[in-house]
Amino acid sequence: MYTASDLRKGLRIKIDNDPYVVTEFNFVKPGKGQALYRCRLRNMINGSQFERTFRSVDAFESADLQEKKMQYLYQEEDKYCFMDNESYEQVFLNREQVGDAVNYLIDNIEAQVLFFEDRALGLSLSNFVDLVVTQADPWAKGDSVTGNQKPVTLQTGYQILVPTFIEEGEKIRVDTRTGEYLTRVKG
Amino acid sequence: MSRDEPDAGREWRLTRRRAVLEIRARMIQALRRFFVSAGYLEVETPARIPAPAPETHIDAPPAGDWFLQTSPELCMKRLLAAGYGKIFQIAKCYRDGERGDRHLPEFTMLEWYRPASDYRDLMAECEALLPFVLEALGRDAALVYRGERIDLTAPWERLSVAEAFRRFTRLTPEDALRKACFDERMALDIEPRLGRGRPTFLYDYPAACAALARRKPTDPDRAERFELYVSGIELANAFSELTDVDEQRRRFETARAERERLGKADYPSAEPFLAALGAMPPAAGIALGVDRLAMLLADADRIDDIVAFVPEDL
């Protein structure tokens, strides 16, 4: 069971027996008033979305999802193909089901694909993924507010802010939960 | 540590944040200068206390047998009762379960009290404080926050709670309280529309929404309380302070009963505060969120961006 204070982006809960994922989350509390938890929820089966505001007293069951370790193979138009390395079973996820993970999907990366009654609905990646910087502009010392950072493009097309010492061709580690740069990876 | 060690990402985040933390530091120094030059005495009171003021929806974290303060209000009022005159404090405060884009469970509060004053005097003081801070940071009289220009020239907008409900909802505040949706309407329909283009004082709350505020002499169903909003962000909460000991005791009992009904922790009665309250002069008091002011001045979208560490970093 989850309570309202567990709500956060990415949490999967059960509502009317369907699995939902929290796609946007905001904690609001008017002065001296009660805590409110504003969520945008996406039905993981049919993709329908709605907004709902919960209170501290609300409780939720976790969504009945099974995870299966699979490998990402390729993308074909809007479809992303994953394969079970033992049974060679293949499943497809659409762009919406892949979500932010699209920023980290490199060939053969291992993913936990989520199933609800044998239907693939989404995926989780490990918290840290190493990606190659494919484009980085040479850095001219800039203004002080942006500080020691610059935008670069990674091999997946994902644009990310990194320290200025990172150069094209280097590999960096990214936190898939926040989408932020973590560290440079050697070798 | 080399920049390639596992913690390099976090270290880098701190490096990146330095410019904003410098703005925050200069802002806090300017706040101090404002109050010192206006004749206020800076005070410090304990963060760990045995008996927080019971408020229905504010939860003090336990600390041993005592609690961490949710605000320095009760101790500062004891100083007022002892004749200290105008006082201010910049204090760490703690509230369980408050975490969001504008909330941290540990945050910094600027709280000040002035005797022989009411909430209208505090409105005027706020109108002087923000331009002073902006000038100290080398800015002009307009704040630009998330692309919105906020003109800080006095007078700011004054909007009663009743008028705000009329303008932005189909309910009166009393209807909303009866239907138990006052907080929803306030948070979802009203607050985001306040402080647009210039700051807004939202004033005169239903008496039930102000546990430590004086009732309006001309309208006892309302309390002399205001909240200050800038660009939809709640920045400060102020009262003409309640000094009637019996009424304060009754309101604390009501809040404690409400907390019990909601299954929340009970606090011991704040007897030394109640004993001192009879000697407290008529006064007005206000608490301003220092982190939120830093958000506005640093043009930060999230409270995480204007502190060195959030709980998740520790």
Residue B80 has pLDDT above 80, yes or no: yes
A contacts of B210 (beta carbons < 8 Å): 32
CATH of segment(s) B7-152+241-313: 3.30.930.10
The reported pLDDT for the residue numbered B6 is: 47
- Domain spans of chain B, in order of start: 7-152+241-313
Of B8, B19, B103, the CB nearest to A144: B19
CB B274 within 8 A of CB B123: no
For residue A141, name the pLDDT band (cuts at 50, 70, 90).
Answer: low
> What element of type H or E holds B22?
helix B8-37
Provide CB contacts within 8 A for A45, sequence distance 6+: A18, A19, A116, A119, A121
Of A26, A34, A183, the CB nearest to B183: A34
Question: ipTM value of the model?
Answer: 0.88
* Mean pLDDT computed over B4-26: 78
Q: Is A74 on the interface with B (CB under 8 A)?
A: no
Structure tokens at A85: 């390395």
**pLDDT: which is higher, A84 or A10:** A84
Give residue-wise pLDDT tens across range B183-213: 999 999 999 999 999 999 999 999 988 888 9
**pLDDT: which is higher, B1 or A34:** A34
Q: Is A24 on the interface with B (CB under 8 A)?
A: no
Same fold across A65-125 and A128-184: yes
Interchain proximity B58–A32, CB inside 8 Å: yes
> Considering only CB atoms, which residues of chain B are within 8 Å of chain A?
3-6, 8-9, 12-13, 15-19, 55-58, 97-103, 182-184, 186-188, 191, 209-211, 227, 234, 237, 262
Domain A128-184 fold: OB fold (Dihydrolipoamide Acetyltransferase, E2P) (2.40.50)
Least confident of B14-18, B226-230, B233-237: B14-18
> Hey, what amino acid is at B159?
L
Domain A2-62: state its class. Answer: mainly beta
Of A33, A144, A145, the CB nearest to B57: A33
CB A175 within 8 A of CB A183: no
How far is it, in rounded angstroms, from Cα B285 to Cα B241? Answer: 7
Residue B7 φ/ψ, nearest 5 degrees:
-85, 5
Q: Give the dihedral sign, CA B286/B290/B295/B301.
A: negative
Provide CB contacts within 8 A for B99, sequence distance 6+: A27, B105, B311
The reported pLDDT for the residue numbered B7 is: 54
The reported pLDDT for the residue numbered A148 is: 73
Structure tokens at B20: 């904003």
Beta bridge mates, B142: B151
Least confident of A2-11, A134-143, B33-42: A134-143
Give residue-wise pLDDT tens across range B265-297: 999 999 999 999 999 999 999 999 999 999 999
Say what the pTM is: 0.89
Give residue-wise pLDDT tens across range B233-256: 999 999 999 999 999 999 999 999
How far is it, in rounded angstroms, from Cα B309 to Cα B164? Answer: 36
Domain A65-125: state its class. Answer: mainly beta
- Domain spans of chain A, in order of start: 2-62, 65-125, 128-184
CB B311 within 8 A of CB B104: yes
How far is it, in rounded angstroms, from Cα A127 to Cα A179? Answer: 10
